[in-house]
Amino acid sequence: MDFQFTEEQLMIQDVARRIAQEKIAPSAEHFDQTGEFPLDNIRLLGENGLMGIEVPTEYGGAGMDPVSYVLAMIEIAEADCAHSTIVSVNNSLFCNGLLKFGTEAQKQKYVRAIAEGKEIGAFALTEPQSGSDATAMRCKAVKQADGSYVINGKKSWITSGPVAKYIILFAMTDPSKGAKGITAFMIDTAKDGFHRGKTEPKLGIRASATCEIEFTDYVATPDEVVGTEGEGFKIAMGVLDAGRIGIASQAVGLARAAYKAAVEYSRERKSFGQAIGSFQMIQAKIADMKCRLDAAELLTLRAAWTKAQTEKHGGRFSTEASVAKLTASEAAMFITHAALQIHGGMGYSKEMPLERYFRDAKITEIYEGTSEIQRMVIARNETGLR
């Protein structure tokens, strides 16, 4: 692994940092308070190649590598976690899945619109009764004589669901086959049979719109199947590996923002006649925060580098992705908690962003696979036992 970033990687990082600091950071509090979807900012990110960082230029993307994606995501998440959630879904879950398993026509029709930021994409796997156990899904797609599928069922906690134009949906086409009976479909939300539920009132990442979606006799044509019938679970798990790198990057950026705020406050805040940063208990917190932040960042970059190697030479990066996601998300919770504690009463006030960082951090331990799931993935891959 080369720790020296390329000129191209530094360029996309600089673009992301500029937009994050000039446009996203100043508006983050507003979007958190109102819960509005930051459409103008997302459009701007798309115009600058940040909604399709790893998407080849022929499909409207920036044509960059996984490390570039991590560097850009960290910058965006440092400015606002909710914005980075939208970026992560578009890049990791939507575009990545179609690039790997979609047809040429699907890439041209769906990936380009999302990568350029003209439309918003989403990923629908979770259901009200099936989160970590994806094979327990009840959403069904019944094949018809003409090759089309009639879809009925619900999906929940769909990030960008209230605003998405296109959604990658996973539905059961043959319940008798379990995981091998799941198929992926491209959904156009403008078609009949698609319905959106209420936007979820979330604890954090409030500007990242989330809702339940429902299908009532929705008809998917044969050319809207992603991959082949029965390949859906494989597609979902592969896409989630990439998604976990995105969430790890998000956690690193969020943790970095909280860490910087804590260090600055420890220098400025006086107590008993001296800066609180001179007190040993504060110094211990800062040292622990720094160690966890650096470990999370390096493990996330390792996962991205490994992903790039697998794209060239084959193989898997699921362990590296899970290690990064687990470490970074738990580091984000630890660091935001410690930063809030260092700020004392001011950290608890909405006048400062610490309480938002704290609320936003929790979701990184839950979506794209909970911390418990990450530990299970890592242990199973290491032992070979199921």
> In this structure, are strands 121-124 and 166-172 parallel, antiparallel, or unpaired?
parallel
**173 SS3 class:** coil
**Residue 229 neighbours by CB under 8 Å, 6+ apart:** 143, 173, 183
Radius of gyration for the alpha carbons in the chain, expressed in angstroms and rounded: 21
Q: Could you confirm whether 368 is annotated as catalytic?
A: yes
Chain centre distance of CA 256: 17
Q: Is 264 exposed, middle or buried (0-12, 13-18, 19+ CB in 10 A)?
A: exposed
264: Cβ–Cβ under 8 A, 6 or more apart, which residues? Answer: none
Bridge partners, 166 (sequence order): 121, 188
- Check 119, 127, 212, 368 and give the catalytic one: 368
Give the closest residue to 87 by CA, choosing from 56, 49, 127.
Answer: 49
Nearest to 158 by CA among 115, 113, 194, 116: 194
Task: Supply the residues annotated as catalytic.
Answer: 368
